[in-house]
A and B are shown apart, each in its own frame.
Chain A
Amino acid sequence: MSKTIKVKLKIWRQKNRSESGHFEDYQLDTVSTDMSFLEMLDTLNEKLVIDNKEPVAFDHDCREGICGMCSLMINGQAHGPEKETTTCQLHMRSFKDGDTIIIEPWRSKAFPVVKDLMTDRSAFDRVIEAGGYISVNTGNAQDANTLPISKENADLAMDAATCIGCGACVASCPNASAMLFTAAKVSQLSLLPQGQVEADERAQNMVAAMDSEGFGNCSNHAECEASCPKGINLSHIARMNRDFLSSKIRK
């Protein structure tokens, strides 16, 4: 059954990339517990617009947990308190009447703030651009069933491929490392025979791109795994490290 709660919000406001930001306080008195977290922010924004104030800018699109556009550090946790749940799928029933909720953008040198809670995550696109693909032109493919792939590897590849590119891993990591994101793609493709041909170059190029974008190193805190809304696990980082090292040796 739905009920309403009161919440106090402390939200990061920042006009653009170059100006410095600050927290502002807001109060909402009738938040339905059936609302999603973003619908709660919609309600706040509609109120702000009516009061001639600027609404809070935040990224969002599909609102069903798959596009990876939504973000937000909620009380210090990427995507908030629920396990394997994106911010858009988080509901207000996860909060109590009278709670104070602190909302911040992803914080990482490689993800500069665009405005308020929006950040620029194009560094992820550039990491993929460096090699996160199989080089096959349209029309080159042979019949799909000429290449059997063990169910185990196909399933593992799928687990890695489920990454939505939201950046929670980077935002949660004390080093702002993008290892989980990069490893998920390297691992997916190296688990499949189609991906073997370019495996060495892929691992090296993607790691190099990751470093040059300003992401930090991995020091095994595992915060990335804990915050990943899709439950991608650390073993993919181990697989990427293996690919990376063996490609160095072969070189």
Chain B
Amino acid sequence: MAFKLDAKIPEGPIQDKWEQHKFKSKLVNPANKRKYSVIVVGTGLAGGSAAASLAELGYDVKSFCIQDSPRRAHSIAAQGGINAAKNYPNDGDSVWRLFYDTVKGGDYRAREANVYRLAQVANNIIDQCVAQGVPFARDYGGYLANRSFGGAQVSRTFYAKGQTGQQLLLGAYQSMMRQVSKGKVSLYTRKEILDIVIVNGKARGIIARDLVTGDVERHVADAVILASGGYGNVYYLSTNAMASNVGAAWKAYKKGAGFANPCYTQIHPTCIPVSGDHQSKLTLMSESLRNDGRVWVPKNKEDKRHPNDIPAEERDYYLERIYPSFGNLVPRDVASRNAKNQCDAGKGVGETGLAVYLDFGDAIKREGRDAIAAKYGNLFDMYQRITDESPYEQPMRIYPAVHYTMGGLWVDYNLMSTIPGLHVLGEANFSDHGANRLGASALMQGLADGYFVIPYTLGHYFGSNELESIDTSHEEFEKCEKEATDRINKFLSINGSRTADDFHRSLGQIMWDNVGMSRNKAGLEKAISEIQDLRQQFWKDLKIPGENAQVNAELEKAGRVADFLELGELMARDALERNESCGGHFREESQTEENEAKRDDENYCHAAVWEFKGDNTTPERHREELSFENVPLTQRSYK
């Protein structure tokens, strides 16, 4: 069932594509919309905004989330802000510049037409959110404030303190709850997706497990939307929430949806380092800190003195040394890789040796403690709460951590996967960030997809497809439910000796060591074989207490780890096949003489799209060729 990759990019100049496409798209008349039902998986920025907008149009929406309330999706933890090309600061921004910066920031591995549309609708997002009552920061005149972020030379980021994700999410959640009150959205909380049901080639439903009762349920609809987030937790430690998982997307892949660029992961340079084996997750410290903090390690790796006792001439401010023009403000991938290099060379600091200093001493001397506190006070407090050290008194210790995944299910211009009727939004899809995402762009994409793209393209799908009338007694539902139940019973029957977390930690270590910030052929091949072994171990030696018919967190974790054990191998395989460096994907074999990432546009200017071919069978790699007609291909340099 080889699939055809038709991106369905509209004809015409890039500025007109979306307008023309909307005009040419089929419509569903208002009276008929209420006859269509849609399942939306996930209630983050993408899922929440889609559920609200589709219900407003009249569709019958079923919204699923894993938490106890839709308001808790992990979009809530985004700190910094959301980009838009409003040009309120009068500093030369435009839709074209936002488009250009995003394509370049993604290291020329995103689809131009999608990125342009993203930049076009970004301004509508800000308008919509303000109308909902999102309390963005404002200046004394009462107008909206902006700040600057990495990868851009204009101030285009809107923010609500360090809690922008929270405020945008609550805006979407509230809009969705309004539709719940009108009976247009039905909420299904504490549910985990176990399968996607395909009937006659079209996505028509899901199998879900109720996390309180253990019941395995069937849900039917006319279309399915996955807005289930990224897969960073494959590394065990990441800045993702504990329950973030790849389950729904992975089941879709195994049902025939192409998985694009799984190796593109973003490793964020400024996170609080691991403190010990008990570590369950990592916490980000906003990128904005690098505006005033100086990154350094001791010149002498034997130097174990307290950082305050090491004089300036015995410190190596390595980013300033290697990148004199960008200094501490190099992009995320460059900063992360350099921190790793220093630690690999034995110069890492702290008890574990896996950290570098981010020092505010000079900034405090220059501007005063109060000025620094006004900028970063809440971050310094959070750092102190976790580490018990004050960044006012001594340098922060930071280390890179997995933060975001640019890869995801392949979608066409309509955000539809290779399975008709299965649409994918937000971090779960692959389309807009290429090989590296710029700061403040994730919130923009999630909301663009949910508020302003899917309401049009879903109507087009319904308007141009005949859907047969089915219910959950259809044999395909029966079959999928049985498979899901069998898998649960299998987990419970293994009765081995290792916990799901234990396996997850082992997988995370393999991924971090071999499919992390720096990758090479030997390491990737090793990772593939180690993951295969670990997967076998897992199915032989997993230990889960209790039963299905109750809250069983260990059973939930087992299902997620089982998926990660398959995804991890695909990520390594994708990284192995992509023998170039681009954005967050650094292949040691492909670097410039100065050890910087070197793209290979000749051979790799495409999205790699993987097709599932059966368990323990090598998947097939397809390509979507990427053409850059509006932003010329150039090599990034930050020297």
Residue numbers of A with Cβ under 8 A of B are 2, 15-16, 32, 34-36, 38-40, 42-43, 45-46, 48-50, 52-55, 57, 59-69, 82, 85, 89, 91, 93, 114-116, 118, 120-122, 124-125, 128-130, 132-145, 147-151, 154-155, 157-158, 161-162, 164-165, 188-189, 192, 194-195
Inter-subunit contact A63/B132 (CB<8 Å): no
Q: Are B178 and A62 in contact (CB under 8 A)?
A: no
Chain B contacts for A120, CB-based, 8 A: 68
Interface residues of B in 433-462 (CB under 8 A from A): 451-452, 455
Verify if B286 is at the interface (C-beta below 8 Å from A).
no
Q: Does B163 contact A (CB under 8 A)?
A: yes
Are B127 and A115 closer than 8 Å at their CB atoms?
no
The answer to whether B499 touches A46, judged by C-beta atoms less than 8 angstroms apart, is: yes
The 4 closest A-B pairs by CB, nearest first: A148-B142, A133-B174, A141-B131, A141-B127
Taking the complex as formed, is B152 at the interface, i.e. its CB lies under 8 A from any CB of chain A? no
Contact B131–A50 (Cβ < 8 Å): no
A42 to chain B: closest residue by CB:
B280
Any A CB within 8 A of the CB of B422 = no
Closest residue on chain B to residue A121 by CB atoms: B68
Shortest Cβ distance from B138 into A: residue: A154
> Contact mask B235-253 → A, CB, 8 Å, 1/0?
0000101110000000000
Given A62-B77, A64-B77, A138-B452, are A124 and B388 neighbors across the interface (CB < 8 Å)? no
Please pick, from B68, B175, B242, the residue contacting A122 in the complex, using a CB distance under 8 A.
Answer: B68
Query: Contact: A130 with B138, CB < 8 Å?
Result: no
B242 touches A157 (CB 8 A): no
A-B contact pairs, 30 of them (CB 8 A): A16-B550, A32-B275, A32-B278, A34-B276, A38-B280, A46-B502, A55-B553, A62-B74, A63-B281, A64-B281, A82-B385, A116-B551, A124-B69, A125-B70, A125-B177, A133-B133, A137-B53, A138-B53, A138-B451, A138-B452, A141-B130, A142-B127, A144-B129, A148-B138, A157-B135, A158-B137, A161-B160, A162-B166, A164-B166, A194-B133
Using A49-B554, A150-B138 as known contacts, list a sample of 13 further A-B pairs with CB atoms less than 8 Å apart, ordered by residue number in A.
A50-B497, A57-B551, A61-B72, A61-B243, A64-B77, A93-B388, A116-B551, A141-B128, A142-B131, A144-B126, A144-B144, A145-B88, A145-B144
Q: Does B167 contact A (CB under 8 A)?
A: yes
Q: Which partner residue on chain B sits nearest A68 by CB separation?
A: B72
Q: How far is the CA of A171 from the CA of B187 in the complex (A)?
A: 25
Interface string of B271-312 (1 = CB under 8 A from A): 000011011110110000000000000000000000000000
Which residues of A sit under 8 angstroms from B343, Cβ to Cβ? none
Q: How far is the CA of A189 from the CA of B133 in the complex (A)?
A: 6
Does B368 interact with chain A (Cβ within 8 Å)?
Answer: no
Q: Which residues of A contact B173 (CB under 8 A)?
A: 128
Report the contact-size class of chain B (Cβ under 8 Å from the partner).
35 or more
Residues of chain B lying within 8 A (CB to CB) of residue A141: 124, 127-128, 130-131
Task: Identify the closest chain B residue to A38 (Cβ).
Answer: B280
A61–B543 contact, CB under 8 A?
Answer: no
Task: State whether A49 touches B177 (Cβ < 8 A).
Answer: no
A138–B625 CA distance with the chains assembled, in angstroms: 34
Q: Does B546 contact A (CB under 8 A)?
A: yes
